[in-house]
Amino acid sequence: MPGWRLAHRRAVTARPRCRSNRCCASSRDGAIAGIGEGRNAMTTRRLFITGTDTNVGKTRCAAALCHAFAARGFTVGAMKPVASGCLRTTDGLRNEDALALIGAMTVRARYEEVNPYAFEPAIAPHVAAQRAQVRIDLAQLDHAFERLSLRSGVMIVEGAGGWLTPLDEQTLLSDLAQRWQLAVVMVVGLKLGCLNHALLTQEAIERHHGALAGWIVNAVDPEMQAAKESIDTLRARLRAPCLGSLPWAPGESARETAAQLDITALL
């Protein structure tokens, strides 16, 4: 059994104390209802895609992972639980990242299932929720997640910002990874400063959740110097398998990106 699976199992059975009484109470309710512990949790591969920062390519990688698993015959569902920076349309607020996931997944779902909370300002999600006078309901997120999971052989959940992005005054978006028992894949945006960001993110994930399942390096600065040396350093210091190194390619399709990933460690 891969090391990240063992560490993840230990993290689930010996969870650190949650920062939010509301979150902990809701987590108990979710467990009773089967969130993360039911029959489908034993058969569905569940991944949480986080990043070293915002705008590092989480959506590019999440959509590519959808295609990579689909190419191996899996039914794939995806979710962007909370999104800011949404556009107003005749159908309501729509998020570009969530629409990309819908286009990459194989399970048919309503937009509201994929992105239950959509906010217009391109600001931190918890601030956007405060301005909209909306309280993010974990039970509503649970319901959407479970509906998609029951129809999926692989479930891919994309976060927002980095690992410690807040959902409200007490709850972090990454709490969902533990709540739903998701293995974590980290996207490293290849740019100056990424080594520090990647190592700090790894430490935070291991401290609060368990071992990384894998990581993807994504070029976000086409003029970055010493890119190869930075990737070599990441390979030496990150305690998880590298699933791929993606070049700067703005026009590349998610299917083309998927062909550059090796998901063997996630199977």
Express each pLDDT in 94-137 by its tens digit. Answer: 999 999 999 999 999 999 999 999 999 999 999 999 999 999 99
With left for phi above 0 and alpha for psi between -120 and 50, is residue 73 left, alpha or beta?
left
Express each pLDDT in 151-195 by its tens digit. Answer: 999 999 999 999 999 999 999 999 999 999 999 999 999 999 999
**Which range, 4-8, 15-19, 161-165, is most confident?**
161-165
The per-residue pLDDT for 39 is: 41
**Domains of the chain, residue spans:** 39-266
Q: Place 11 in a pLDDT band, splitting at 50, 70 and 90.
A: very low
The per-residue pLDDT for 231 is: 98
Sign for the pseudo-dihedral over CA of 22, 43, 16, 199: negative
Percent of the chain past pLDDT 70, that is, above it, reads 84
Q: Please check the confidence at residue 242 and state whether its pLDDT lies above 70.
A: yes
The per-residue pLDDT for 103 is: 98
The per-residue pLDDT for 155 is: 98
With residues binned 3-state (H G I as helix, E B as strand, rest as coil), the percentages for the chain, rounded to 5, are 45, 20, 40
Sign for the pseudo-dihedral over CA of 17, 184, 109, 120: positive
The per-residue pLDDT for 38 is: 45
Residue with tokens 């998609």: 148
Phi, psi of 253, rounded to the nearest 5 degrees: -80, 160
List residues with catalytic annotation. 80
The per-residue pLDDT for 9 is: 52
Q: Place 44 in a pLDDT band, splitting at 50, 70 and 90.
A: confident
Average pLDDT, the chain: 89
The per-residue pLDDT for 211 is: 87
CB 215 within 8 A of CB 234: yes
Half-sphere exposure for 44 (CA within 13 Å, toward CB):
30
Express each pLDDT in 51-66 by its tens digit. Answer: 999 999 999 999 999 9
Percent of the chain past pLDDT 90, that is, above it, reads 82
The per-residue pLDDT for 1 is: 56
The CATH number given to 39-266 is 3.40.50.300
Q: Please check the confidence at residue 73 and state whether its pLDDT lies above 60.
A: yes
Q: Please check the confidence at residue 216 and state whether its pLDDT lies above 50.
A: yes
The per-residue pLDDT for 42 is: 46
Q: pTM value? A: 0.86
Express each pLDDT in 153-164 by its tens digit. Answer: 999 999 999 999
The per-residue pLDDT for 245 is: 98
